Structure 1
Amino acid sequence: MTGTPSHRSGSVAVIGRPNVGKSTLTNALVGAKISITSNRPQTTRHRLLGIATFPAAKDHPAGQIVLVDTPGLHKQQGKFSASAMSRVMNRAARGALEDVDAALMVIEAGRWDEEDTLAFNVLRDAGIPVVLVVNKIDRLKDKTVLFPFLAEVGKDREFAAVHPVSALKRNGLEALVKDVLALLPEAPPMFGEDEITDRSERFLAGELVREQLMRQLGAELPYATTVEIERFAEEITPKQEELLRIGAVIWVERESQKAIVIGKGGTRLKEIGSKSRVQMEHLFGRKVFLETWVRVREGWSDDETALKAFGYE
């Protein structure tokens, strides 16, 4: 008996150590930028949903994959890793495994270290199907090393499927989607097909400013910064255009850091604001007027009360 293929829908956690491309993969599957990215580890600090909706195809039914993007699981060592912020991030990553149907374990092609083992052990203990996503295959100069690497990783470890991909170049994603949908229950979609995340535009605006801080500042300073959106107002201009007026406060921990973020003559802060505004206009589809300020709150990243005030759960 044949008929219309059933619809599949479910939640899938995206887990892995820092800087393996979890957010890039989430964005690629969703088809829009909802998670910020940079080449710095621990760019993602919050757990958020990316909603990827797929029409029926020749080899799979219509479906909706609700991706739970998470901070990178990391060992509690070093100055940053010992902070309250680090503990919050690890709790967010582990908490993403509650009530999900499956998980994507993301690793970097050609590399497996003790933090990958940590992530695998957490997933194994959760007792859910795990798809291994071997990301950044485009960076492998010698592709012949891939298969021996996959064989070594798969030794004594059980995965529902293994997929080499390049999330950045969107290679290998169709086969991944097919296998992930097969792991999900037959169910109607949980969100409308035009929804891409559970987070508000206000939240996303703060993340886009923080993305520029991660990308433009030195190796250590971004971890001492966070962003608070003080104003988020929608207006109609005299030309009948929609306008968002956004006020963003960049918080740092010391006065010396404030001077670095502002830059000589305010040049760095201006560049951070300009690039953030362009990203906001692209994501929100409206004109944006963005104002930014830099303020100091000593020790905020190791203060549980401050973290809650800044929206870290």
Structure 2
Amino acid sequence: MTVATHFRTGYIAIIGRPNVGKSTLLNKLLQQKISITSRKAQTTRFRINGILTDQQTQYVFVDTPGFQTQFINRLNTAMNRVVTQSVQDVDVILFVIEALRFDQRDLAALKILPEHVPVILVINKIDRLADKNRLLPFLKEVGSAFKFADVIPVSAMHKIQLPELLTTIRQYLPENPPLYGEDEVTDRSERFIAGEFIREKLFRLVGDEIPYSTSVVVDQFKQEDGVHKIYATILVEKPNQKAIIIGKKGEKLKQIATQARKDMELLLGEKVYLEVWVKVKSGWADSESVLRNLGYE
């Protein structure tokens, strides 16, 4: 790639409370799925960098967990630490909220934002507004809580105003050469994303019946004769949760694995052989040693 004279590169943190559409926004901006989504709060656990490169700019988006105001266990604490650390060393912050929804949870997330970094307010889900005239007074209300550098209403799901958002972000990025190759879309390994795909299907298919602390460990990830062979374990805290995930005659677990495998094949561009087990490990979400082994601390 020929680098433009005034090429800009920078890190952009995507911040907000749970379930405002941060991961959907990242995936739509990249036009590729790297961050998992579901209706269940706190789906995103780790910091994930998504990379978008054009002729003039390299955007390195930092997707973060939703900022949680109720510290239930060590897992929540570790996830909030990821958010707090992520906003310190970036060039721009996207603070994402839902249209016409702004409460104490959003205010709590605002309090962790540094003063030296420009913050763009991204009002998501504007496609759901029946009366667009309600947006202006809402903007005034939110604007009184923080001095935002810019405000961009968007619909991440329907890609409304995403080009305008990219143009706005670029204004705040420093002039630097690209940090990544033009074809790179994330700093995370294929092994990591494979585990995340399983966790996404888990939450989408049985999310109302299991706690969000349920996790996935990829035990083996190897390639043989053009086939990716992936072996993974779902960690739960109680035997009844294991039974729910497996389902009658193993049908629910099979459904989870099948849907995850299809996403993996799209990502990897090759056939995937996937085996998934479920294991009970009581108290893992409050165990410092287990969380460290899983990469949370």
Q: TM-score range by the shorter chain?
A: over 0.9
Q: Is the 8 A contact 1:31 1:52 kept in 2?
A: no
Q: Is the 8 A contact 1:97 1:126 kept in 2?
A: no
Matches within 5 A, 1:31-180: 31-55=31-55, 62-76=56-70, 81-123=71-113, 125-180=114-169
Matched residue, 1:58: none
State yes or no: 1:261 paired with 2:245: yes
Counterpart Cα distance in 1 of 2:24 and 2:212: 20
Identity, % of aligned positions: 51
State yes or no: 1:30 paired with 2:30: yes
In structure 2, what residue type is equivalent to 1:206? G
Q: 1:186 to 1:131 in 2, by over 3 A?
A: same
In structure 1, what residue type is equivalent to 2:42? Q
Matched residue, 2:201: 212
Per-residue CA deviation, residues 61-81 of structure 1 (Å, 9 max, x unaligned), is x101111100011212xxxx3
Does 191-200 or 134-143 show the bigger shift?
134-143
Q: How big is the shift at 1:126?
A: 4.4
Q: How big is the shift at 1:282?
A: 0.9
Counterpart Cα distance in 2 of 1:184 and 1:127: 14
Counterpart Cα distance in 1 of 2:14 and 2:67: 11
Counterpart Cα distance in 2 of 1:31 and 1:8: 20
**TM-score between both structures, scaled by the size of structure 2:** 0.96
Counterpart Cα distance in 1 of 2:122 and 2:157: 13
**TM-score between both structures, scaled by the size of structure 1:** 0.91
Instruction: Provide the aligned C-alpha RMSD in A.
Output: 1.2
Counterpart Cα distance in 2 of 1:130 and 1:92: 18
Q: Is the 8 A contact 2:40 2:207 kept in 1?
A: no
In structure 2, what residue type is equivalent to 1:39? R
| Secondary structure at 1:189 match in 2 | coil
Matched residue, 1:10: 10
Q: 1:126 to 1:73 in 2, by over 3 A?
A: farther
In structure 1, what residue type is equivalent to 2:221? F
Q: Is the 8 A contact 2:41 2:212 kept in 1?
A: no
Which contiguous aligned blocks of 4+ residues in structure 1 show a shift greater than 3 angstroms?
none
Q: Is the 8 A contact 2:75 2:213 kept in 1?
A: no
Counterpart Cα distance in 1 of 2:253 and 2:143: 46
Please list every run of 5 or more consecutive structure 1 residues that lacks an aligned counterpart in the other structure. 56-61, 237-241
In structure 2, what residue type is equivalent to 1:177? L
Q: Is the 8 A contact 2:40 2:212 kept in 1?
A: no
Counterpart Cα distance in 1 of 2:229 and 2:88: 37
Please list every run of 5 or more consecutive structure 2 residues that lacks an aligned counterpart in the other structure. none
1:248 corresponds, among 226, 232, 245, to 232
2:214 corresponds, among 203, 225, 238, to 225
In structure 2, what residue type is equivalent to 1:134? I
In structure 1, what residue type is equivalent to 2:80? N
